[in-house]
Amino acid sequence: MQSQTAMNTFVKETGGWVAAQLEACTRCGMCAEACHFYQGTGNPEYTPVWKVELLRRAYEQRFSPFGKLKVALGISKPITDEDLQHWSTIIYEACTVCNKCALVCPMGIDLGTLIHDVRAATAEAGVVPADLMAAVNKQVEEGSPLGVTDDVFESRLEFVQDEWEVDLPIDKQGAETLVVFSSIEIMKFPANLAAIARILNAAGENWTLSTKAREVVNFGFYEGSHEHTKLFLSRVFEGAKELGVKRIVVTECGHAYDAMRWTSYNLMEVPKGIEITHIVALMGDYVRTGRIKLKKGAYNNGTITFHDACKIQRKGGHIKEPREILGVLAPESFKEMTPNREEAVCCGGGGGVIAIKEADPIRYAAFQLKINQMTAVGAKTVAMSCSNCRLQFLDGIQHFKYDVKVRGLAEMVAEALEEE
């Protein structure tokens, strides 16, 4: 039954875009070495192209005459419920959909997106790890996977305003920019809220928060369910429409940015005339145009490095901005890890992986790669622009008893603001 639902989804997902890429694969196996989960564990099942195997089998059996012949002869086995269970653990626990494999593939196959298509089928069939599904359901019912209800949202904002003495405009009609935080920031990194508010206020931005569009996290996108992804996106878009804003700024959250900036348009009707951007892009813009002034060399003490998030840098395109900002903040102490930028190694906790308890051992195994990178440059501080990466880093360094300061870029910028 589940396998039938999954099969139907595979067929629905398969257009020329998917088919052409599946046809291009030569099974060369190069993608294995691109995957931090394979590198960290050596488990051949974590090879990116193997994660797409179900989609490939479905394509072969439904769309190629040769495949139909193979099914008739019993060479190609139909997809079973057990297969779905098995692949569900591989694609949710051992993949952050970071898409580094796409850069390594000699054919340039966009493997991350294809793996997301496999997730769409497992989501449709209801074969999703329990921990992840619980978070999705919580977001459906309460509006947030971390329990940020209306009351909690209000009290957290009050707390931030008191603690950091900063203005947080809420539901301001006529504001140009709507800022949407992730629940990780609201619940775990409230200093991020204060920092971003101070930056926007310093830049003289006409901005607001929204009680309706209170958070941008999209666990439906982790799950791969189009229905849930659309539901969570529409909450933000509704809030934006009501306030009549011209721009939505996604804060330090990667997957949410991918969903909103790069996926929503092909999934649903996005309200016209609203630009979607990321806080890193905005900060870069402010620094470049002089709308905010930063203390030069404010972080020149101790080597500082930058961790590129898969969804904000590699898939988001905001690679230059953090470097421009760090070029001002730490011109002498900033050092790149290798590889970096679009080729960066993923933190290992994105794509919903950190929400799944069973994935802990391989999540730490993948994080070992980041530790090696940080050790190689002798980093005292590691900066990043994604709260999900930050959670993984904080958890990872605690697990390995590794000594490094983990910082969000917005907080660093806010602390280095030159007061007028």
Partner 1 sequence: MNWDAFLAFVRGPLFQVALLIFIAGMAYRLFRVVFLGWRRDRVPASGSKAGGVAKSYAKGILIWPFIPWVRNTFRRNPVIYLGGGLFHLGLFTVIFLGTAHMLVWKSLLGFGWPTLPLPIVDLMAVVGITAMLVLLVFRLTNPVMKLITGPAEWLNWLFVFLPMITGYVLTHHLFFRYEVTFSLHMLAIDVMLIWIPFSRISHFMFYFFSRTIHGIEFGKRAVSP
Please name the residue that has the structure tokens 């996290």: 217
Residue 134 exposed, middle or buried by CB count within 10 Å (0-12, 13-18, 19+) = middle
In the complex, the smallest distance separating the C-beta of residue 265 from partner 1, rounded to whole angstroms, is 4
Q: Is the peptide bond before 65 cis (omega within 30 degrees of 0)?
A: no
In the complex, the smallest distance separating the C-beta of residue 50 from partner 1, rounded to whole angstroms, is 6
Applying CB under 8 A, the site for partner 1 has a residue count of 56
In the complex, the smallest distance separating the C-beta of residue 47 from partner 1, rounded to whole angstroms, is 5
Please report whether residue 113 would count as binding partner 1 according to CB under 8 A: yes
Please report whether residue 44 would count as binding partner 1 according to CB under 8 A: yes
> CA nearest 260: which of 277, 242, 238?
277
Measured from the CB atom, is 51 or 119 closer to partner 1? 51
Phi, psi of 407 (to 5 degrees): -125, 145
Measured from the CB atom, is 23 or 415 closer to partner 1? 23
- For residues 408 and 270, what is the distance between their CA atoms, to the nearest angstrom? 29
| Window 18-37: residues binding partner 1 (CB under 8 A) | 19-21, 23-30, 32-34
> CA nearest 77: which of 55, 91, 57, 59?
57
**For the window 339-378, what string marks contact with partner 1 as x by the rule CB under 8 A?**
x-xxx-----------------------------------
Amino acid of residue 216: V
Residue 79 exposed, middle or buried by CB count within 10 Å (0-12, 13-18, 19+) = buried
- Hey, which residues does 247 pair with through a beta bridge? 177, 275
Please report whether residue 240 would count as binding partner 1 according to CB under 8 A: no
Binding segment (CB under 8 A) for partner 1, from list 15-23, 118-126, 175-183, 327-335: 15-23
Please report whether residue 317 would count as binding partner 1 according to CB under 8 A: yes
Amino acid of residue 278: H
**For the window 68-107, what string marks contact with partner 1 as x by the rule CB under 8 A?**
-------x--------------------------xxxxxx
- Residues with Cβ within 8 Å of 192's Cβ and at least 6 positions away in sequence, in order, are 181, 185, 251, 252, 387, 408, 410, 411
Q: Of these, 5, 41, 63, 324, which contacts partner 1 (CB under 8 A)?
A: 63
- For residues 195 and 411, what is the distance between their CA atoms, to the nearest angstrom? 5
Residues that bind partner 1 (CB under 8 A): 14-17, 19-21, 23-30, 32-34, 38-39, 42, 44-45, 47, 49-50, 63-64, 66, 75, 102-110, 113, 261-263, 265-266, 313-317, 319, 338-339, 341-343
